[in-house]
Structures are given as structure tokens and as C-alpha cells.
Structure 1
Amino acid sequence: MLSTNQLFFVMLFAFAALFLRPQSAFSQNDLKRKIDSVVSGLENMKFQEKRSSYFDICDLIMRAGGNKREELFNYAISRDSSEHARMVFYETYSKVFSRRGQTDEALELKEMGLELAEKLKDIEYEIVYHNDIANLYIYQNKPDKALFHINKAELLAQEDKYKHYNTSVYYNRGLLNNILGDHEEERLSYLKMWEYAEEMENTSRKRFLLYILVDFLSQVDHPEELAKFTEVLSDLYEEANPNMPEGHMPIKSIFEKRSDPVNIPKLKKSIRISDSLNSLNSLTFASIALAKTYEKMGQPYQGVQVLKNIAPKIDTTNKPQLKLYLVSELSRLNAEAKNFEEAFTYLREETKLRDSIKSERMQKNLAEMEVKFDTEKKERKIAQQDLQLEKEARQKNMIFTGLIALGVLLIMSFFFFRNKLKYQRTIAAQTEAIQQQEIRELQQENKLLALNSMIEGQEAERLRIAKDLHDSLGGLLSTVKAHFTTIQKEIEELEKLNITEKTNSLIDEACLEVRRISHNMMPHALSLSGLKGAVQDIASNLQEEGYLVTLEIEDLPSLDKTREVMVYRLIQEIVANIRKHAEAKSVLIQVLARKNDLNLLIEDNGKGFNFDQALKKGGIGLKSINSRVQFLDGHIDWDTKEGEGTSVSIKIPAV
């Protein structure tokens, strides 16, 4: 039968179990969600950023309690099983086994992690794993295997960026030499360890490494080094925690462990050396350790004397915590020695010192708070000023940005309207140019139309005159000749005078001239055979007149009647000029079709002429020829020189 109290605690335990279990599950789920959150952001991270995130996951794993760490460890690997992730996770989780004393399990994980580090060529983690594995082999008392990994780590830690890992290398060497019993090598290893640690900031690891060195030196006969490094370690502790009482410093335990009659000679030597080196911390701790040794031996008064010997020196120092520690021990030992009056005196001094230290500490804290308050006040004021300046700067930037935007807008507007105006002017100019061109084209068309009409009129008039000459004057002359023949038979006297023969000759010549004029005005060959036949007719006439003529006609295009007549008249007029002025013996006439052009070439071997002078004189023939070519939208080229003949090259569009 359970008692009332037992029943109460059972119910309380059951309630707590029911209440805390969901809370624990929630904490575990919460940690998993945090791991998920970290893993989800890994994809776009660089190498070092990923490593930092893996460290965050490791912190989450170590925050879990008990067996939950293993669950979180496995969960983290399930979320990211990359070689990089496993290399980091194995190193962290192996510490769980190390703390439990499960060195084989820890070694297994660390060996796996080392293999990954070597595969990834991650030198930093190779060094870490070699140091960790060496430490575990030292724990298992396997010095050969430990030495192998220590040497590997030391070799890898030669680069400057890895040299801080040598603190672990030489710490392990010190431990290894300890189990091998080589204390001198152990001392040298710890001193080398401190050489690298000394460059570190004042962290707990730095203080731990120096603590190892001081602890070792307190066990061997090197009082100078002990005094020196005790002072350094005390300064580091005071710097890290100024309010820590001297009696609570970890150094105290180092010396108290030596409170044994066997160590009296070493303690006395340490006191003497510390005194000579003015190492007050070492002097105080060694003296108190010796005093406690005498106390254990039942000689507290001897201990009192030891402490009184150093009291004057401690009084002169500005180390109230050290003085308080000494006075407190003097009060206690005097009480043990039944010297209650002195014990009470030292107790009052102790109380006074405590109050003084407390007051001083309070004042110091108040001063620090005041400084912090003033600093915060100044910082707040500076922050307000910065905010004001930032606000003003922001306003200025806004104004400046607005002005720039306005300026850009104005410039853009200016260029826009200028370009628009320029475009409008260009369009207007183009429109005007087009209109002028259209006007010129209309004028040209009208001019050509008028000229065409004029030419057609001229041709019609020539045709009429030719018909009249042929029909009227030609017939009339024929009638005259017939009548004259009749008269000739009847009048014998005229024959005697030889007038009839001459008159007949003149009449025949008049008939020929009328026929020639009529033919020139309207050649029958052009009407009957086209341009080719007409040009051949011109060549035949020249040959009849005694000229050596070369005629070439090829692929003549089909021309409208007006252009055909104009081309014929053009050739006719050039040939007429050759007859009148050239005094030539040979003539070349070429009429050739080239693509959409009609090419004319007329050459003679006559006397030639000065083209520029002839043009200035206003020769009707030249002007007429040039006008006809211009009317036909063609191009004419005169090549002539006095005494060298003349060459006329004409290119006329066929359409």
C-alpha cells in the first residue's frame, strides 16, 4: 500500500511524463524543421557558405537531448547525404561517442570522415580528423597509431592558414610523451603548443592550453617557467573575467593538488623563485598550497608563518583580490592554530577588503554603466544625427534625382521636338522637292508634247510639201518637158542655136532635184522598210555619190513611229553635215541594239573641226542634232579634231 506522499509523487511523475512527451516531440520536430530550412537554402550557396550551414545543422544536432541526437544525425544525413555534408556531420557526431567513452564507435566515424576529407582534398578537415584520431588512440594507449596520425597532422599544418592547428598537434604530442614517460619531451611539446597558442585571441581554448602547460610545470622541477606562465594565465583569467575572486580561479586547483608533504621542497623552491621574479600570483598560490600542506600535517601555525612572510609584498601590490585570498587564508589558519585574536583581526580585514572590493566593484560597475549610458546617449544622438543626415541626404538625393529626371525629360523633349521639327522640315522639303520634280516633269512632258506635236506637224508639213512637189511641180515640169519636145520638132531654128539641148538638161536636173527633196522630206524606204531600210537607203545614196561606206545594223528594236522618224532624221542630218563640211572619202555607220538602248556610231575620215568653237558660233546643225538627242532622252559624244575626222557616238533608250 502506497503512502500519501508516494502516491503524490507517482501521480506527479505520470503527469509530467504525459505533459513533457508531446513537448519533447515538438522540440524534435522543431529541430527537424530548422534542419529542413537550412538544407533548402544550400542549393545556391558557395562552398564556404555551405560549410557554415553544415555547422548550423551540427549545432542543432548537439542541442538535442540523449538519444534524440542520433535520430537528428540520421535525419540530417537523409536530407543531405553529400560527401561534404557527411564529412562535417561525422566529425560532430563522433564527439557524442567520445563523451560516452565509446572510443571504438568514435574512431569508426572519424576514419570514415577522414576518408571523405582525403577524397575531397579538404586539408583543414584532414588535419582535424588526424588530430582527433590521434587523441583517441592516446586514450586507448596505442602510441604507435597515435604517432602516425600526429605526424600526418603536423605535415599538413605547415601552411600559414593551417598553422593554428599545431596547438592540437603539440597537445597530442605532450599527451603521447606523458604515456611514454618522457617528461622532458612532454614539456617541450607543451611549450611548442604555447608558441602557437600565444598568437590566438584570449579565448577559453587559449586559457585551457596554458592551463595544461601550468598544470604540467607544477608537477616538474621548472619553477621559473611555472612562475612565468602562472602570471600569464592569471592575467588572461582577469582579462576574461575581471570580477572573478582569486580564490575561485582554476589556477588555485593546480597548486592545491600539490598540497602534499612530498611536494614541500618543490613548493618552497617555487615560492623562492616566484619571489625573486616578482610573480605575485605564483608566489601567493604556492605559499597557500605550502600552508595547507602544513595544515594537513597538523602544523597550522607553520602555515600562518608562510603566509605572513609574503603578506608585506602582497600588500604593496594593486591586486585586492589576491590580498583578499591571502587574508582569508590567514584568518582561517589562525583559527585552526587557536590564535583567535589574530584570526579575528584578519577576519575584520577580510570583511573590510570585501566591502572595499564590493564598493569598488560597485563604483566600477556604476562608472561602467555611466560610461555605457553616456556612450549609448552619444550613440543615440549620433544615430539621430545620422538619421537626420540620412533623411536630408535622402531628400537631397530625391531632389537631385528629380532634377536629373526633369533635366533628362527636358532634354528628351527638346530633342524630340527638334527631331520632330527637323522631320517636318525634311518632309516639307521632300514634299516641295517632289512637287518641284512633278512640276519639272509636267513641264518636260508639256515641252516634249509640244515638241512632239511640232515635229509631227513638221513631218506632216514635209509630207504635204513632198506630195505637192511630186504631184504638182513634178507633174508640171513633166508637162513642160513634153510641150517643149513638141515645140522643138516644130522650130528648127532653136535646134540650130543649141538651146533645146541645154533646156532639156536643166529640166531633167529640176526633176531630179524635186524628186530628191521630196524623197528627203518623206523617204519611201522608211515608210516601206522601216528604219533599217531607210538607213540602208542613206548608205546606198552615199555610195552612189562616191563615198566608201561601211554599214553595220544589228538587232534593231521595235520603235514607235515618232522615235523611228527622229532617229532617221538624226542620222540623216549627221550624214548631211558630212556631205557639206567633212570632205570625207569614207563613212562608217553603226546601228546596234544593246539591252534596252539603241547605240549609233557615225564616223568619217574628213577634215574634222574644233567642236568648242563650232558650238560657240551657234551652228544650226550641231544644235539641231543635240536637240534631237535630248528629245530622245539620249546621250551624245562628239570626238573630233581638226585634220583627224569626226566620230559621233549616240546612246538612245529604246523605249
Structure 2
Amino acid sequence: MEAPIKEDATKVWLRKNENYTNNRKKYLSIFNNYYDTKIKEENFLDAAKILDVVGTKLSYHYDYDSAFLNTINNFNKKYRHNVPALKTTFVDSYLANYYYDKGDFKKSCNYFKNITLLEPNDYKSCYEIARAYYELSYVYFGMGKQNLSLEANQKSLEYFNKIGDIDGLGSVYSNYANIYKAIGDKKRAIENADKAIKAFKSIDNIYDTYMGLYNKISVYDYVQDSRKTPLIDSTYQAFKASKYESDILKIAIYDFKVENLLRENKLIEAKEILDELKPIVEKVDSDNWMQDYKATLVQYEIKNNPNHSNIEAIKKAIPILKDNEQYEKADLFYSVLKKHAIQNNDFKNALKYEEEKQIIGDSLGNIATRGKIVELETIYQTEKKEQEIALQKTTILNKNTTIALLASLFLGLFLTVVIYITRQKQKKLRLEKQNAQVYTKQLLEKTEEERKRIASDLHDSVSHELLGLKNLFEEKNDITNNKIDSIINDIRIISRNLHPIMFDKIGLKSSIEQLVERAQSVNDFMVTADIDYNNSLSTNDELQVYRIIQEALSNIIKYANAVAAKITVLEKNNIIYIEIKDNGIGFNVSETLNGSNAFGLHNIIERSRVIGGQAKIVSDKNGTIITIEIKKT
């Protein structure tokens, strides 16, 4: 791992989330001063970097400050052209999220598309493009454009797979859950929701784990699964017990909890939660979450007093939602209107709202039967003309049978096409991954051959020449001899680091033991090795294992402030298990891997992948553990 580049104190301060949450006004003031200074210095790259940091933070907190928005727009118009395109994707990302929150999905799409048109050239740019495809997929989903949503999500999956970003893959699985939910594939929707939760849990991402649970509840809600109610209760209790601080999670989870309480007629408890949420929703100041809160509040009012509920605001919002193609939100609002109509025994309007809801459902991609329309139609016609019920039921039943058959045929055809396209893309992705793996392996092998040649030249030529030079001195000069001995020793160390000269003869186990012995003698550092290995790998693969351990040990010595480390190599059945463990200060794995100075860690991950293994890095204040499992071929 390379030594981190020192950033100036102000930039470091602005990166810390607690500085924003503790005093937002001070945070933005310090940002503005720093940014203005960089603009005056015409240091546009640093100005862009700090805009990226602060813009990401504000978007995360749904804080679309008007002054900051003006700063972004001003930078976009006047200075953006001075900075490479891949360094300014934050502009499009911030504006896309801003317009999404304000309900303008079309503008949001256009800004996300700007990012996806770029070609990545490093880890960060690849991440930004993957993220843009993910966000674009989510916007398309809300607009009911499931074919475009599926395409964008697949591209996001490809990019996140390239960089091995577990957090990003979890987000992609969440999108798949939404897409399958919309087209009525309940099984796949729930499977992908579970995959998302599992991915987020594996990297201890608490926020997105709860968002994954929220997404799974939404799937249950949409497909009317009875498991929705207990999942809401268990998620609510777990979130409260965790004492995790997040306004957005509180709004999302508590909103569903209120629905449960209303279903159980626990109006007092529901009102208490709504009152608790009100100042939080106002503080967050997000149009998106405010609409959800208002919808839940109206549902409470309908239960509490159907004749005095504020239903007009919901009615007025629907045309705007439909104009902006916010079909998922419109579906929610029609559900609220239908509940209000049923509560007031207004079955005529209840029928109308259900029909509108079904149209919205089709816009979202859901090809469903019209059972609920039949039910409401029957109740409404009973109030009007009881004598016509039998004839109407027969007519509607025949029509629904035809619709159901056509819908099933269309759904089957659609899913077949989707599955075929998805499998073709997955096949292409696998081939690309295999080709990249072969290329990387060949590159590493060529690198090792060149290292071996240089090491041999240093050892056999330069070192021998120096020994000959030492013997030519007629006068025995201790100072000269000591200096030449020191140079010879340095050359031997360089040669050993380039390539362990005896590696081909003594093998992996003895080479690791020598590496451990040198690390202890040179660095006054305790390292132990527990090796149970039967030489089952090829020499080239063994060399990659040696390089992984060498890189990990070097990182521990340079950065961990550890007093001890242990290396374990265990061969059991068809698995070779490697563990490098230290008792150092640890580090934030996700943050470090996403940074620009994590070459050493990526080197470990890539070398592991080349020899058919998978590296897992876990770190906290008690130390770091790197584990690698290699399947023998």
C-alpha cells in the first residue's frame, strides 16, 4: 500500500460527517470560504474536488440547499470546462438527485445519462459510472419504463462486478427486486431483495441493510404478501433497539409501522408516531419523503374521521405525479383515495380509483387480473340495481377470463425475452471476466520473469564485480571494505525483494519462513507462521501466494502500528486457506478501497483472483484480518 497523500486541514474537516450534522451553518460557511479561495487561485481541480465532497454529503442528507445549488450551477457554466470530464461527474449526479427529489424524473434521467456516456479510466470513475447506471435504473422504474430500467441495471451490475464493489452490487439487487415486483414476478423480487440485504450485511453497511429491509417490505406490500406485517414489526423493533441515527430510515420504517397500527385500529399509537415524524420530515425537507408522509397522515385521518380527512391535497397531487411519470407514487395516492371512498361507502368512486390504480399498475409494468375491479363493481351495482347483478357478473367473469389468458401469454413471452437477454449479457460478462483474468495472470507471470532476470543480474553480475573490486585493493582499508560490504548487502536485499532467488528450489513454505525471519530481524517485530501445505499449487501460483503474504506483511509494518502478526497457510480437502492477521490500529476497509491510494490492497485482491481465490479484508480498532480461500483445480 502506498503512503497516503496528506490533504490540507480544511478539506479533511469538510469530509467528516459529524461536522456537518453538528453545525450545518458553520459547515457550509467554511466550505464557501474554501471554495471561493480555490476559484480565486484558479485552482479549479481542488474547487471541483471539494464540491464533490460537499455535494455528495448534502445529497445523502436530502439537503438541497438553494445557495449550494447556485454554486453547482455557476461552476457548471463557468469553470467545469477547465477540469477533466471524469472529475466533474458530481455536477450531473447532484443535479439528477435534486430533480428526482423535486419530482422531475425526465430531467433527472438526462443528468444521469450524461455520466453514463463517459468511459472510465480508474477505480473511482468506474464506480461513478456504475452508480449513475444504478440511479438511472431506479428512476426508470419509477416512470414505469421497466425495459430501460432492466438495461441500465444490467450495465450497473457489469461495472460494479469489474471493481468488486459489494455495496454497489447490493444496490443493484434492490433494483432488480423493484423491477421483478413491477412485472409481477413475486419469487424473483423477494430473492433479489434478500440478496441485497445479505450483501449489505456482509460489509456491515447498517444504513443500506435497513433500506434493503424497507425495500423487501415494499415488495411484500405490492404483491400483497401476508409476511409484510411481521416484517414491518421486526424491522421497526430492531431499528429502535439499534439506536442508529438516520432521519431518512426513521421516516421510511416508521411510515410502514403506522400502516400496521392503523390496520390494527391502534390510532393513538399511530398518531404518536406521526407526531414524532412531523418535525423530522420538515427538517429533512425532501419533497419525495414529504409526499409519503402526507399519504400516511391522510390514511390516519380516514381511519380517525372519514368525513374530515384532508383528501383534497392527495387529489391535487396525482395529475402532477402522472405528468412527471411518477407512477409508483401515483399508485400509492390512488390507494389512499380508494380507502377513503370505501370508508365512506362511496363504492362508485372506489371503483373509479381502483380502475385508475390498475392503469397506473400497468404503467409500472404489472400485468395483473382485475379481481378487485370485479369486487367493487359488484358492490356498486348492488346499490343501484340488484336485478342486474347476475348478468353483469357473468359478463365481467368472461371478459376477465380472456384478459387473464392474454395477460398470462404476454407475461410469459415478456419474461422469456427478458431472461434470454439477461443470460446473453451474463454470458458476455463471464467471457470478458475470463479474458481479463487470463490477461492479468499472463501480465503477472511476465512481471515475475522480468523480476527474476533483474534479480539474477544483480546477484550474479554486479554483486560478483563488487567482490572482485574488493579483492583488488592492495591495501586493506577497513572503511572501503565496509562500504563495499554494505553495497553488496543492499544489492542482495534488492535482489531478494525483486525475486526470492531460492524460491524455485526450496518452495513456498520455506520461502515464507525466511520472509518471516527477515521481517522479525530487520523490524524488531514479532511474526509467527503456521504452515500446513503439501505443494499442490503450480510454482507460478505459489509465487503469487508469496507475493500476497509479502504485500500484506509490508502493509502491516508500514501502517498498522502492530506489535505482532500471524501468517497461516492451511491445506484441507480441496481448499487452501490463507490468513494474515495483526493486532494493529485497523482502518476503514470500504473507504480505503474506494480511495486513490489503495494499490497494495487491490494488488492482494487481484493476485488472489488470478489464482482462483477470493480475498476478504476485515478491519477494526483491534486489528486487521486478510483471508483468502483458493480452490484447488
Q: Same fold (TM over 0.5)?
A: no
Does 1 or 2 have the higher relative contact order (CA < 8 Å, sep 6+)?
2
Q: Please give the TM-score of this superposition, normalised by the length of structure 1.
A: 0.33
